[in-house]
Structure 1
């Protein structure tokens, strides 16, 4: 079936004709014409309505381009058996997997590669029809849809158990649906990815790994490794704080085991248009620095260029900062721009579980990830390229981190508040404290104008002085390393209180970033970047609110006028 119309302009005749053909196909395979899943980019097949409403959604929101096989609308899916090269298709085999489910099966195959019989047993259990005669759902696809709904609507574990129990009673006897959240999670986790639970000090001093692996108390603050119960009784075996670590190397190897993905991982070298325009990180000077300084790394187009992003979230969906959970997500830039930011290719590598945010001690939790990045750079790992059908040595480089401004300071070790909060100007930051607003004002931006710009000579419109100083030059990685190499920073919340006075000196650096353990880090031009979302939201919203005098949003208040 031709699906080229999905990527066409929503106002074109081809798109309109494609929508009509899709709706006809969905109507022919629907049990109830008023209960058809929405395949638009906004709904993602999680809501069900009539054809008229779906047509309006597809015209307004567009078709979900990741919905390649119309599995929720009656199309039969072709699933490649990872144990051989033959395609197994047919109405009796019940291969109705969504794209994410197929990837899970391939990942599980790699995990059980040394024991094929065990994998076959798990796969057969996942592929069972939901009940005898069911042609719409298998056990696994039903669980995928239910877990998606659980996550979307924030259902509690107890309510999810009650729902499964009710659905089990509604379905025919001897159905395959688990009757509790615990059983569903057990069925689901067999095909999931591997992870490592690393115990951590509740004060963020250390991780209990390497030389600290067998300790029961933190050697820095003395806190117990185990959770304290009633009357401060130590619950042996229950860790006080846990880091969830998802090793990236096995997942990088799995990427190359998929023929289509392996082909796309060299897009930057095979298909990218080099015309001087910046459309992809591969067009940036930062990418070219790696190519020029390490030509042996650049000669293998399959070597990965990575970025990581970290920020605090509240998993309980409350507008409160009382609880903070920090995911660290890894992005692969080898892929084309329409794929590298897809959820499927954004890898969760660390989950720093709350309730307190790690702050400046986040480097303690980044240590396992940095160790693997060092291995990927210095040694490499063996990987099999399913597209080219050959083994090769896979290496990787971390180009930069992506954060909001507070997390920028945590990751880089620089000061992001106070009188020297500009990472570019550093010790040459022009700042003063406003008496009435009780905030620090950052001035001196005329230094960045051309030397002969007329604003440099104006006095009245600015601070009553002319400005002829040159713009400060950003420090190179080598210069930053020279300044932070001798800083003695003590990790942990308790240590942080003791050295607070030391951090309030005139230095704009708090500590040495853990990423300097990577051999190439000091040579990169850009090491930490700010994400555009926060800049658009916070800065632009304040500007527009002030210019338009929006109530509650404007910064033009009494204190500002007095200052």
Structure 2
């Protein structure tokens, strides 16, 4: 089939003949010749075979007449026509787009949806044509609907039940758990059909089984029917529990932890330190079960030592604290290592995470008459804020920093506009130029240029470096301008914009996040308990024995300082975030003590011409005042 007619003027005879040939082809491959679905993705409507061709028909005005809604069979019929057109034609550049269009007709709109992507678009475009919706309004509608559809990364959700009343339910909690038990039985016996697997793109029947419950100890007896009070409240020791009733304090105490020690342990023979008797008994063996170990998480070789340490610690507590201290919760510590062997790390089976989250839910309650409504509204509010945060992470990134999908970079405080002087602007601009990889070839060219014009003159390396820093920015601007006149396409966008000096107005912040690490200014740190303004920098410097040394050596040197200001230089097309720092004097402001700690004197400032540094070049450090000499500070390196 010849498709060249598509790109011709609609008033020409070739276009009219091409449309007629296409309609004949569609009629031959359609199940209903009187109503042919159009396969073109921009249309998604039905074509009346008896109607005149588009070349002779004016565009109708939108009306309020009710248009028929495409049926599910319409989409499948469209796919059949598309497949036939594809198989009988030669597709080159457009074949991928065409096959992608056909594939959309077979994929669900989202997981579990009964409508395919093509069916959904057919219905939406039909609705748009029926009511005369503008393109801009229709695009806004699609954006809003897309944000409401379910996403792949579903957030963890914990469903809660609030039972009103002055007392706990006790064993009556089974009334509220009965619906859950019915659902669990159904999930195991029948399963949940039509669950969509996004990996295999197929549906399957989901089945689930309850392995264990996570609850606190008082609820242990309500859920399992086990005794959790009195003389036999330990679920492991059972009738072998060592318990004693304290009549004066009217409570039970649980001691006798020496029986868990080895037979030859010296604590077994001590009397005065414990209950006045030797311990000759042995602990009861717990009920056996299949042990499941998570070798990649738990160091199994240390479990025996851990169990021994726990028992010795409890025995030490028996020597110090009165009997009333040892309630059942203290006694259950003996079996923590056993639970670790059976169930893996404790955070899989303990209640702490749920209890913490319950505290968060309870804090949502403002009106005690309607606690459920308070929790629902506040939870929805948190979800909305979290959605906005995710949007900021994806859409509001800052140019000039390395892109790392796993970490976030951007400002953490309010922004302030500041006007800077020309000298400050030029110093910051020079730093950006000298630390941009695309500018590096121009740096080498300029150094060769300086060496050429001063050839034969006794100029030191330090002098040439100072001259290079003084003249490079203006030379670079002239060089790029001449290259753009000769070959405009040969200069990259970054070079074009960075050659022009930045604006005198800069954005300043008090806090900034760089690859997940928080950096604050010194002024903000002074009113906070934590410290986030210390930085270190490893840079190459030219070092010589004296100012007259004609053979200096280039080597790495560590600089320590604090952040005074945080800038965003505006290059119009992008921004370059920088730290303005106070650096210590490397000659007299740094030393290493006898223990190997690095100490700096931050009151001795140096390198005042190199105050600026790129955010991705520094590493965060902390300064702690030396207890021997308050003038010096000990440097601690961050682990991030």
Which TM-score band (shorter chain)? under 0.3
The structure, 1 or 2, with the larger RCO (C-alpha pairs under 8 Å, 6+ apart) is 1
Q: TM-score, normalised by structure 2?
A: 0.24
TM-score (norm 1): 0.27
| Larger gyration radius, structure 1 or structure 2 | 2
